[in-house]
Every structure is written in structure tokens, then in C-alpha cells.
């Protein structure tokens, strides 16, 4: 694959809008304990943030998600309607890890007070 020159345009606003929308949806699904949608929206957020992750962290989160997918799917097929809080804790852990990464990358911090001087 040939590496292209970088553009003078960037996708920062689009990226932040996508992440903001995902965080909003994730908050709703987690508060409703909708584990299926919560999990799948965390996967989408993971894909958005993965280019900024260290390789080992990317592998670790990917492994956690791979191990969790069958539990999430099984919880959807549960007849008794009970919530498996072990799954909820694992989803919380993944979400917190992604939120910490989002913060560490500086996406929630403003760089300049005046947008006219932003680079």
C-alpha cells in the first residue's frame, strides 16, 4: 500500500462528532443495561480510537471483546430475563479504558482559547 501525502484538510470535527455520538449512545445503552447494543457501540468506538492506541493496548482490548462476544450473545438468548452483572462489569471496564484513552489523546482538551489561533 502506497502512503499518500497528508492533506491540508483533516477530519477532526467529523471524528469528534462521531465519537460524541457514540458516547451519547453508549451512555444510553449502558443505563438501560442493553448489553447487545452497548457492546456493539463500544466496538465501533474501539475502531475509531484504535489508530491512536499503542499496539499492545489494541490487542488487549480486542482480546477482551472477543472473549465477551459469546457472553453478550448468550445473555440475549436468556429466557429468565436476569442480568449477568459479570458481563456488565466487563463492558464497564472496556468503556472506561476507551474513555481514558480518549482523554489521554487530548480529544477532550482545548488547545487554544481562541479558535482563530488553532493550528
Does residue 66 lie in a domain region?
yes
How many whole angstroms separate alpha carbon 15 and alpha carbon 103?
14
Does residue 6 lie in a domain region?
no
Number of domains in the chain: 1
Does residue 52 lie in a domain region?
yes
Domain of 43 in residue numbering reads as 14-106
How much of the chain, in percent, has pLDDT values that exceed 90?
58
Q: Cell numbers at residue 104, please? A: 489521554
Residue whose C-alpha cell is 457492546? 39
Reported as a single tens digit per residue, the pLDDT across 74-95 is 887 766 777 888 999 999 999 9
Does residue 1 lie in a domain region?
no
Does residue 115 lie in a domain region?
no
- What is residue 29's three-state secondary structure? helix
Amino acid at each position: 500500500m502506497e502512503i499518500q501525502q497528508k492533506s491540508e484538510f483533516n477530519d477532526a470535527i467529523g471524528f469528534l462528532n462521531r465519537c460524541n455520538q457514540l458516547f451519547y449512545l453508549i451512555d444510553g445503552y449502558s443505563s438501560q443495561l442493553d448489553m447487545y447494543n452497548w457492546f456493539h457501540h463500544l466496538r465501533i468506538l474501539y475502531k475509531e480510537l484504535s489508530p491512536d492506541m499503542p499496539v499492545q493496548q489494541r490487542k488487549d482490548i480486542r482480546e477482551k471483546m472477543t472473549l465477551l462476544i459469546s457472553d453478550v450473545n448468550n445473555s440475549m438468548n436468556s429466557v429468565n430475563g436476569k442480568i449477568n452483572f459479570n458481563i456488565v462489569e466487563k463492558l464497564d471496564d472496556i468503556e472506561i479504558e476507551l474513555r481514558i484513552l480518549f482523554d489521554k489523546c487530548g480529544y477532550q482538551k482545548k488547545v487554544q482559547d481562541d479558535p482563530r489561533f488553532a493550528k
